[in-house]
């Protein structure tokens, strides 16, 4: 699959859809053809990655664009980030305890 810039539509990198799991890293993306350098330096965080053509972020800047990528196959939705295990086997939330009663209702005087 080919990653395209959402703003200038230039082809940027090759990627394996199975590796597109948030949080993304620039190391997930490979050169378009063998023998070329990677499109992004591997030590650069994904938030700092830039399109080599227009120098904008490949996902664009709209808030709804952060959950998908533009590819040669159309818009590719990203899966939700995996939630860490809580370590608590009980799925019920902890009880906050008894609710104290108030002596007087909370009213304003006029």
Q: What is the pLDDT of residue 60?
A: 86
Q: Are 34 and 17 within 8 A, CB to CB?
A: no
Q: What is the pLDDT of residue 73?
A: 92
Q: What is the pLDDT of residue 100?
A: 59
Tell whether 96 is covered by a domain: no
Tell whether 107 is covered by a domain: no
Over its length of 110 residues, how does the chain's per-residue pLDDT go in tens digits?
999 999 999 999 999 999 998 888 888 999 999 999 999 988 889 899 999 999 999 998 888 888 899 999 999 998 887 666 655 555 555 555 555 556 666 666 66
Name the strand (E) or helix (H) holding 71.
strand 68-71
Q: What is the pLDDT of residue 7?
A: 92
Q: Which residues contact 2 (CB under 8 A, 6 or more apart)?
A: 11, 12, 13, 14, 15, 32, 71, 72
Tell whether 83 is covered by a domain: no
Q: What is the pLDDT of residue 62?
A: 86
The model's pTM: 0.69
The count of other CB atoms within 10 Å of the CB of residue 8 is 13
Number of domains in the chain: 1
Tell whether 95 is covered by a domain: no
What range defines the domain where residue 52 resides? 2-77
Tell whether 68 is covered by a domain: yes
């Amino acid at each position: 699959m080919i990653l395209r810039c959402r703003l200038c539509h230039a082809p940027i990198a090759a990627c394996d859809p199975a590796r597109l799991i948030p949080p993304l890293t620039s190391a997930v993306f490979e050169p378009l053809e063998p023998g070329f350098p990677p499109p992004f330096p591997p030590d650069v965080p994904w938030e700092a990655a830039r399109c080599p053509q227009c120098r904008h972020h490949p996902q664009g800047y709209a808030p709804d664009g952060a959950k998908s990528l533009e590819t040669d196959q159309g818009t590719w939705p990203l899966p939700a980030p995996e939630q860490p295990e809580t370590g608590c086997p009980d799925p019920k939330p902890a009880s906050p305890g008894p609710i104290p009663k108030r002596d007087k209702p909370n009213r304003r005087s006029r």
